[in-house]
Amino acid sequence: MTVELTTSRDVMAELTRHRLSSFCVESQRFVDAGGDIQFIRPENIRPGTEAFEIWREHMLACERAYARLRVLGMPPQDARKVLPNSTATRIVMKANLREWRHIFALRTAPGVYPEMRALMGALLKQAKAHIPVVFDDLVSPD
């Protein structure tokens, strides 16, 4: 099963630890993130809270710093250093069905990082809809 996901850089780093999978990750080195950079809000930071405002201000500051460095002629591979783990990235992930069952069991369990759990929970629901005979016995997170 092959899927394309959009997630934060830190969750992408966790996903790539599944060694029996293969990955194609969007490059920050060669892809200019110019314009509006997309950020993934951490699940535990709720809009309307002080924590959200602090996070949002920091993301905007990082986006401005990246844009200024690019205007100064810095290549994307150097300017990307100011981008945080919340920066959205696209990843194509491929694994056999046995490995996907293993990934879902690990990454949807209680206590898993909330962003990972939400991402894998949504993906598990889609997998159940498309291949129920393989995934129906797995429990989706709330």
pLDDT digits (tens, 9 = 90+) for 41-77: 999 999 999 999 999 999 999 999 999 999 999 999 9
- The 10s digit of each residue's pLDDT in 14-41 is 999 999 999 999 887 777 777 779 999 9
Q: In what order do the strands lie in the sheet with 22-25?
A: 2-8, 88-94, 22-25
Check residue 36 and give its pLDDT: 79
Catalytic residue numbers? 107
The pLDDT value recorded for residue 48 is 96
Q: What is the structure's pLDDT at 32?
A: 77
**The pLDDT of residue 141 is above 90:** no
Q: List pLDDT tens digits, range 100-133.
A: 999 999 999 999 999 999 999 999 999 999 999 9
Which contacts qualify for 98-103: CB closer than 8 Å, 24 or more apart? Answer: 99/18, 99/20, 99/21, 100/1, 100/127, 100/134, 100/135, 101/134, 101/135, 101/138, 102/18, 102/20, 103/18, 103/21
